[in-house]
Amino acid sequence: MQLRKISFNLVAFLSCFLFLAAVSSPTMAQGPAAISATTIPESELIQPADLAKTLTSGSPKPLVLQVGPKVFFQEARITGSKYGGAGSSAQGLQLLEKTVLGMPKDQYIVLYCGCCPWNRCPNVGPAFARLRELGYTNVKVLYLANNFGDDWVRKGYPQEH
């Protein structure tokens, strides 16, 4: 378990570092990653404890999409979630579009990443904006203040590996 924790934290650090290096270049700064997680209205956020409760209750479950680095999804993910593509890349947003293609516009969708602290996440902002552009009206974003490991895994919320 300790090795998994170290591995997860190292991958999170490296992903954030590579993202920050990429967006500091003028060509990348204008792309999808320029939309910050901090631009998502607070009313569109869902707290980890609330999502965990929804997932373990008898109520209808949202479509939960991980929109961060695929290596994180492969390491650990919210139980029942699907990989939706990294929101910071054009290819990731295309995968996100394919994932929701044909779903009702009022489908309850929860996006999450958790690659790094909320104010530096390059993925949830662009993914949220893209789903809104496509007309999806019931989209929430899981607020992970620090990262997925700290704010979901270590709290014992539903996860699979």
Q: pLDDT tens digit string along 36-92?
A: 899 999 999 999 999 999 999 988 899 999 999 999 999 999 999 999 999 999 999
Q: Domain residues for 31?
A: 2-160
Query: Hey, which residues does 142 pair with through a beta bridge?
Result: 46
Mean pLDDT of 18-23: 39
The total domain count for the chain is 1
pLDDT score recorded for residue 104:
97
Is residue 25 scored above 80 in pLDDT?
A: no
Assess contact for 111 and 46: CB atoms under 8 A: no
| 143 against 5, higher pLDDT | 143
Instruction: Please report which helix (H) or strand (E) contains residue 109, including its range.
Output: strand 109-112
Assess contact for 19 and 123: CB atoms under 8 A: no
The whole-angstrom separation of Cα 59 and Cα 62 is 9
At 26, the pLDDT band (50, 70, 90 cuts) reads: very low
Instruction: Retrieve residue 106's tokens.
Output: 């009022």
| 26 against 160, higher pLDDT | 160
Question: The CATH number of the domain where 152 resides is what?
Answer: 3.40.250.10
The whole-angstrom separation of Cα 113 and Cα 149 is 11
Instruction: Retrieve residue 82's tokens.
Output: 């699907």
